[in-house]
Amino acid sequence: MEDLATNALPYDFGHLDDLMEKAGIDVLLATSKHNVQYLMGGYRFIFFSAMDAIGHSRYLPIVAYVKGAPRKTAYVANKMEGMEHANRPFWTPHFFPVAWGTRDAMAQAIKHLKAEGPASPRIGIEPGFLPLDAARDLEAAYSNAPLIDACGVLERLRAVKSPKELAMLKDASERISASMQATVRWAREGSTKKEIIDRLRAEESSRGLQFEYCLLTLGASHNRASSDQAWAAGEVLSIDSGGNLDGYIGDICRMGVLGEPDTELEDLLAEIETVQQAAFSKIAAGAKAGDLIEAGEAELAKQPNATCTDFFAHGMGVITHEAPFVMTNHPVAYEGIDRDEPLKAGMVLSVETTMLHPTRGFIKLEDTLAVTRSGYELYGGEGRGWNRGGR
């Protein structure tokens, strides 16, 4: 496929074809921004990066892929994306910058499939990311063709990251870590949660990240929403943020204190760290995904504050919760279908331990780790102890 200029793609067509075959899918229609970005090799249209609605409808990018025939792949785009293509041509052999809404985008995708696809294809879709009007048009055009949930196919395709993807995730994590440390140093007595979040947004933006969210606590409160609550001397700060670097998510949590941590605070964070390290020790290619969960939970059960502490792990990459899925409904409602499966080199995990202490507040570490053949690599690991505010 060298003539298709696909060297930069993070996936292999043969792997995609195998996944589609196992799922009983002949044609794939990807319509979520994250999977379109992935299939396009990292491209996302900046005009609709933060929102979808326009006029009476919304932006609906579509990648249409016919199993076993990459040269038939089409990208159905917004009309303005023709300018993007002129500057940096897309790899897809067919490009249709024709749409302003959902129905005209789907009409073009249907037209392309009628010309290039099988007569009665089994069509893979993303049900949660396909608007009702577009879905109805697709069903009407292929009344005898089943629509099949393809989310699992795309999750498996994204599960193992390429070296380029791993570098992006590492870079994103390091930039968030640096942003957090700078923000905690800047914050001082009287700084409000809103002001601290705004400062983190500025720090992440200055480092080339697209700010996504910040969950922040001060003092004994467990409320992580933005407010006018002010930081007081001796209080803890928990700062949990996600930042996007060219489509890849960095997501970590770090702790701060206004002043010097007392012995109790040192002990509480040490409890969190002990649980984290127990889970880390079970991460390596070939290890069962559930082993890290069992190790974290077993270590947590030994801790003095186990009754107010929770342990969790999940896969991450293009989105904050993706394959491998290692826990069930904890706290996000999905099945831990990969708990009994071996980890693979190139998978990326988020491991987090959270304490809701009744008097000292919200104490948490969240870390990003890449699975390697011999163990793991910790991304953005700086500042995992107590970061001092007002410096």
pLDDT of 2 strictly over 60: no
Q: Are 325 and 334 in contact (CB under 8 A)?
A: yes
Q: Do 363 and 257 share a structural domain?
A: yes
Q: Do 338 and 363 share a structural domain?
A: yes
Q: What mean pLDDT is reported for the chain? A: 96
Q: Do 231 and 84 share a structural domain?
A: no
What pLDDT is recorded for position 230?
Answer: 98
What pLDDT is recorded for position 3?
Answer: 61
**What is the 3 state secondary structure string of the chain?**
CHHHCCCCCCCCHHHHHHHHHHHCCCEEEECCHHHHHHHCCCCCCHHHCCCCEECCEECCCEEEEECCCHHHCEEEEECCHHHHHHHCCCCCCEEEEEECCHHHHHHHHHHHHHHHCCCCCCEEECHHHCCHHHHHHHHHHCCCCCEEECHHHHHHHHHCCCHHHHHHHHHHHHHHHHHHHHHHHHCCCCCEHHHHHHHHHHHHHHCCCEEEEEEEEECCCCCCCCCCCECCCCCEEEEEEEEEECCEEEEEEEEEECCCCCHHHHHHHHHHHHHHHHHHCCCCCCCEHHHHHHHHHHHHHCCCCHHHEEEEEEECCCCCCECCCCCCCCCCCCCCCCCCCECCCCCEEEEEEEEEECCCEEEEEEEEEEECCCCEEEECCCCCCEEECCC
What pLDDT is recorded for position 391?
Answer: 80
Comparing C-alpha atoms, which of 268, 275, 295 is closest to residue 385? 268
Residue range 120-156, pLDDT digits in tens: 999 999 999 999 999 999 999 999 889 999 999 999 9
Mean pLDDT value across residues 204-210? 97
| CATH classification of the domain holding 317 | 3.90.230.10
Q: Do 147 and 94 share a structural domain?
A: yes
* Last residue in a domain, options 94, 126, 158: 158
Q: What percent of the chain has pLDDT over 70?
A: 99
Q: Do 177 and 51 share a structural domain?
A: no
* Last residue in a domain, options 129, 158, 187: 158
Mean pLDDT value across residues 32-60? 95
pLDDT of 5 strictly over 70: no
Residue range 225-252, pLDDT digits in tens: 999 999 999 999 999 999 999 999 999 9
Q: What percent of the chain has pLDDT over 90?
A: 95
The answer, yes or no, to whether the previous bond of 342 is cis (omega within 30 of 0) is no
Residue range 332-361, pLDDT digits in tens: 899 999 999 999 999 999 999 999 999 999
Report the C-alpha gap between 37 and 66 in whole angstroms.
18
Q: Do 376 and 338 share a structural domain?
A: yes
Q: Are 253 and 355 in contact (CB under 8 A)?
A: no
pLDDT of 1 strictly over 50: no
* Last residue in a domain, options 158, 180, 201: 158
Q: Do 215 and 267 share a structural domain?
A: yes
Q: Do 191 and 138 share a structural domain?
A: no
Q: Do 142 and 54 share a structural domain?
A: yes
Q: Domain count of the chain?
A: 2
Q: Are 161 and 181 in contact (CB under 8 A)?
A: no
Q: Do 184 and 64 share a structural domain?
A: no
Q: Do 170 and 152 share a structural domain?
A: no
Domain hosting residue 84, numbered range: 2-158
Write the CA distances from 245 to 137, 170, 208, 209, integer angstroms.
35, 10, 7, 5
Comparing C-alpha atoms, which of 309, 190, 306, 183 is closest to residue 239? 183
Distance of CA 279 to the CA centre of its chain: 21
pLDDT of 71 strictly over 90: yes
Q: Do 101 and 182 share a structural domain?
A: no
| pTM summary value | 0.94
Beta-bridge partners for 75? 63, 95
Distance of CA 188 to the CA centre of its chain: 31
Measured from the Cβ of residue 42, the count of other Cβ atoms closer than 10 Å reads: 17
Report the C-alpha gap between 262 and 360 in whole angstroms.
11
| CATH classification of the domain holding 40 | 3.40.350.10
